[in-house]
Structure formats: structure tokens, C-alpha cells
Amino acid sequence: MGLQIYDNTLRDGEQAIGVAYSSTEKKEIIKKLTRIGIKNIEAGFIAVSYDEQLAIRDIVTKFPDVNIFCLARMCKQDIDLAYNNGVRNITIFTCASDELLKYKLKKDESQLLEDIKTCISYCKSKNMFVRFSCEDATRSSVERLKKLYKCAQDYGADFASVPDTSGVATPERIYKLITKLKKEVNIPFSIHCHNDLGLATANSIAAVLAGVEEVQTTINGIGERAGNTSFEEFVSIMQLIYGINLGVNLKGIVGLSEYVSKISNIPIPVNKPIIGKHVFSHESGLHVKIVNQGNTHCYEPFDPREINRTHNISFGKHSGIANINFLCDKYDIKIDDESKRKVLFEIKNNHIYQKGISDIDVLSIIKHLQ
């Protein structure tokens, strides 16, 4: 099995504060995801509401060629809700850490193992594909996780999901944990990282290096608290840096990102890796000179055309003559070197009082000096 992406935008992404997708919006996200090559998609949490159940049922019907999953608690009630609404791929989760067992589930390990046997057997009796997940795995003992995942495997689970539920793991810890688990458990592994410490993407990469077969991501990295592993960051790193082909058409990720940002009402930061407005922008005259010569690799990690983007030259305190040359070529303007120096002086002088000088501002300066 090659490495695959499991999209969680419609469930964990929707758990971001203030986000709630309509059934129509969920279907549009799925359309855009499938167009760029994503086939494993979690459509929602089946127990959330009646409307959620209707939306999931509609999605399963409308996308028969997509592996539509839903999240469910480890109980027959949720499993029946999923099955009766047409779901045949399910992710069931249970608590694993001492804290959650004590304060949330209020069960001991032996009871938990019995629940796993009962619920996974029940799912398999309905011929469902089962991803089994241990909530708060990264704060659980490795020995307990081995028992839980091995139990799930023995009763028919198809996948083992390892969530860093509170975003407390580091790449080293993730690598060691996955390595230890894969020595004991013989079903494919999935990693689900949260970004509370800004390590979700790095942790997901560490999991890949340790051998996981699947990484869970969300568009723009949205999700509860600080969000999840960013889809556009992870797939770009895998395909452009590691050379691992995930089958994703990178030229479609910007449009997908912008759509999700719009309907989520969560703006994309200008410095957001891969998709931020300023990621392929240059103000420094030294950098612009190199970019203008075509040596973009000197100051960019990859060619922006790989993701259907272009370079952008900005103007400000750090600009040089190269910036003026770029603008003159862009607008087919002819001015002498002395005029260029005067324009540059005005830009540097104005930047103290005017943050963010646009092309129009520079064109106005040129016109004023002529």
C-alpha cells in the first residue's frame, strides 16, 4: 500500500470555532477534493445531529466512487446510525490515556478491551471497513496502545489510527511511537495530528518516515483549537521535497484552499506556507535581482508554477533598482537610470509613512517625476 491522504476537513475541520458547513458546501468541498485526487474523505460525526446524518446520507449517495467515512463513538448506537444512513466505512474511537479513561470514559482497561471486541465484531458483521482510533494516543502508555490496537486487529479492524489529540507530541516522539506500534500490530497505520505547538505537519512527516500508510489532513489546517495537519503543506512537501507521489494535482490546491477559507470565514494568513499571499513575493532588491535573472530557486523552495502560482515583486524600504526594472518591464515603461534612482528614493522615503506600496503607487511616482 502506498502512502495516502485521508481528508478530515468536513469533520475535524468543521470543529473550528464558528464553522458549520451546509450539505451543499460539504458536497462542493468533496467535488474539489476528488478533482485533485483525494478519495478517502470523512464526511462528519454521525452522532452530532439529525441534519448531520441527513448530510452524510446524501453524500454517500452522491459520491459512490469515493470512500466516504464518518466518525463514530465505540458503541452500537453510533454504528447503527452510520450503517442505516448508508455508511460502509467507519472510524470508531475510544479513550486510551489514563486521564480520559478515568474522567471521560470511566472504564478500566479490561472493560475497554471488551468494548473493542464487541464493537469491531459488530461492524465487521455488517461488512464495514473499520478504522480504529485511540483518542489521546500520544499521552497513553505504549504497552496499553499495543494491547488496544492488537485487540482491534484480532477482531477485524482494517486500519489503526494514532491521534495526537492535544497536539503535545514532537517528531521524535511520533517516530518512536509509530516504530514501536508497527512492530507489534500488522494492520496499516494512520496518523492524526493537531497543531497546538505548531508541529502537526512535522509530526505527520515523522510518522511517514516511521512507516504509516496514511496521513489525516484538513484544508488550510483548520480544526479545533490550533487546527490540524495542513493538507496543502503536507502534500506539497511530500510531492515536491520527498518525491513521494500522492496522486494529488497540486495545481488545484490554491482554488480549493480559497474556497474553504471563504465558506469557513477563516482568512488565510499572508505568510501561510504554500498558499499565503506573500509566500512567493519579494521586496529585497538583492532577491529581486536574482529572481529577475530566472534563478528563482535561490530564494524559493520550489517553482510557484508547480501549484499554479506566480512570483510577485513588492516595493518598500528594502527595494532596489531591480524592483523598478521589474515594474518597468511589466508595464512597458521606458525611463532612464537617473529617474529610476529618484523613484527608488521616493519609495524608500514613503515606506516609513505608507506601509505596503502598490504598483499603482509606484506608477504614480513615475508619472509625477516625468
Q: How far is CA 222 from CA 42, 176, 278, in A?
A: 14, 27, 20
Q: Is the predicted pLDDT of residue 298 greater than 90, yes or no?
A: no
* pLDDT tens, position by position, 319-348: 889 888 888 888 998 988 898 888 888 888
Please tell me which residue, 72 or 318, carries the higher pLDDT value.
Answer: 72
- Spatial distance between the Cα atoms of 144 and 147, rounded to a whole number of angstroms: 5
Three cell numbers at 4?
495516502
Q: Is the predicted pLDDT of residue 303 greater than 80, yes or no?
A: yes
Q: Is the predicted pLDDT of residue 351 greater than 70, yes or no?
A: no
Measured in degrees and rounded to the nearest 5, phi and psi for residue 190 equal -125, 140
Please tell me which residue, 28 or 337, carries the higher pLDDT value.
Answer: 28
* pLDDT tens, position by position, 165-219: 999 999 999 999 999 999 999 999 999 999 999 999 999 999 999 999 999 999 9
- Spatial distance between the Cα atoms of 322 and 187, rounded to a whole number of angstroms: 56
Q: Is the predicted pLDDT of residue 367 greater than 90, yes or no?
A: no
Question: pTM for the whole thing?
Answer: 0.91
- What confidence category does residue 349 fall into, taking pLDDT thresholds of 50, 70 and 90? confident
- What confidence category does residue 312 fall into, taking pLDDT thresholds of 50, 70 and 90? confident
Q: What is the mean pLDDT of residues 35-41?
A: 97
* pLDDT tens, position by position, 212-239: 999 999 999 999 999 999 999 999 999 9
Q: Which of 101, 66, 106, 103 is CA-nearest to residue 86?
A: 66
Q: Which pLDDT score is estimated for 353? A: 58
Residues paired with residue 357 on neighbouring β-strands, in sequence order: 315
Please tell me which residue, 233 or 1, carries the higher pLDDT value.
Answer: 233
- What confidence category does residue 93 fall into, taking pLDDT thresholds of 50, 70 and 90? very high
